[in-house]
Amino acid sequence: MRLALLACMVFLGACTSLEGDFEKAISFGVVTEVNDYSNQVDKSLYVRMYQAPVYEEQCFIETHGVCKYQYYLSVATFDEYPQTNLFTLTHQGEVTDINWLSSDEIDTATLQLTMSNYTAAALKNNPSLPVKKEVLRVTLTPHQIEEHN
């Protein structure tokens, strides 16, 4: 029950922050429970990743599809009155792997995201697309996000 209440509060808090963009993510996207990754790491925040398709590019040959995704991260503390926030990742593409890294800081999450510049479906459809993989380190608190390549 507490987890459902927390999820509801995160969802409602996130909707007020980025109404237009986040609407795409919850309407058409995929929600990833980031806390389910790296079970050996203690987590001091509740983090979800929302994946929204970006339809601005035409990378498919003779058909349509999603070339990239925009990602949003919702963050909440585990307090009785949790602090919540929603952040937009500046990098677009497709997250292929998530690792939660250990952190000694209170209410801080450090994630290592492996990203491709195009979706697997786009790369399969159009082999001429340039493939670029990068590892992105994301540090989250209820108040800020920092991204590092």
CB atoms near residue 116 (< 10 Å): 18
Query: What torsion do the CA atoms of 61, 62, 66, 67 make, to the nearest 10 degrees?
Result: 20
User: What's the pLDDT band for 8 if we cut at 50, 70, 90?
Assistant: very low
Q: How far is CA 99 from CA 15, 36, 84, in A?
A: 26, 10, 22
Give the residue from 132, 136, 130 showing the smallest Cα distance to 114: 136
> What's the pLDDT tens digit per position in 9-57?
455 554 454 556 677 777 777 899 999 999 999 999 999 999 999 887 7
pLDDT at 11: 54
Q: What is the pTM of this model?
A: 0.82
Question: For 50-108, how does the pLDDT look when each residue is reduced to its tens digit (9 = 90+)?
Answer: 999 988 778 999 898 999 999 999 999 999 899 999 999 999 999 999 999 998 899 99
